[in-house]
Amino acid sequence: MKRILPLLFSCLLCCSFTFNFKQLQLDERAKKYYSQEDYTTFPEEKIASLNYFFRNSYRIEKSNPSCKNCTELDINTFDVKKYDKQRKDAERVTIYVSKQHIPVILFSWNEVRGAVKKIIEQYNQKHENGN
């Protein structure tokens, strides 16, 4: 029992440090647009903003009446950056991707900028509170 306790304590200590210092990871799709040297120095708010862009700045329409037997679009590999030029400032745009013409709704640039602004404000508030 005396030998197990130090080992157990070490494991708990190691796990708590790992948990407390877990770093926000940049989405794999975003990494294609930056060098590793660049993105490893990004502050958390920039990583969170980029993750929002690549994960949440669009909506894939699951119910596509024009394509009953289509395979679903893989949201983990869908690269929204390819469709930047089709986004509009003040309105959402529906694009059709893949061979099955799956509808994807791109949120407007105003919506994207608003969401990024909120993310940055949350991080600023977190830093002001000392977290």
Could you tell me if residue 17 is inside a domain? no
For residue 121, the enclosing domain spans: 24-128
**Could you say which DSSP state residue 95 is in?**
E
21 versus 114: the higher-pLDDT residue is 114
Number of domains in the chain: 1
Q: Where are the alpha helices (DSSP H) in the chain?
A: 4-20, 28-31, 36-39, 44-56, 109-128
Could you tell me if residue 6 is inside a domain? no
Could you tell me if residue 16 is inside a domain? no
Work out the average pLDDT over 97-121: 92
Could you tell me if residue 14 is inside a domain? no
Could you tell me if residue 11 is inside a domain? no
Could you tell me if residue 54 is inside a domain? yes
Model's pTM, two decimal places? 0.75
Residue 70's pLDDT band, with cuts at 50, 70 and 90, is low
Helices and strands of the chain, counted as H and E runs: 5, 3
Could you tell me if residue 30 is inside a domain? yes
The tens digit of pLDDT for each residue in 5-46 reads 444 444 444 443 333 345 789 999 999 999 999 999 999 999
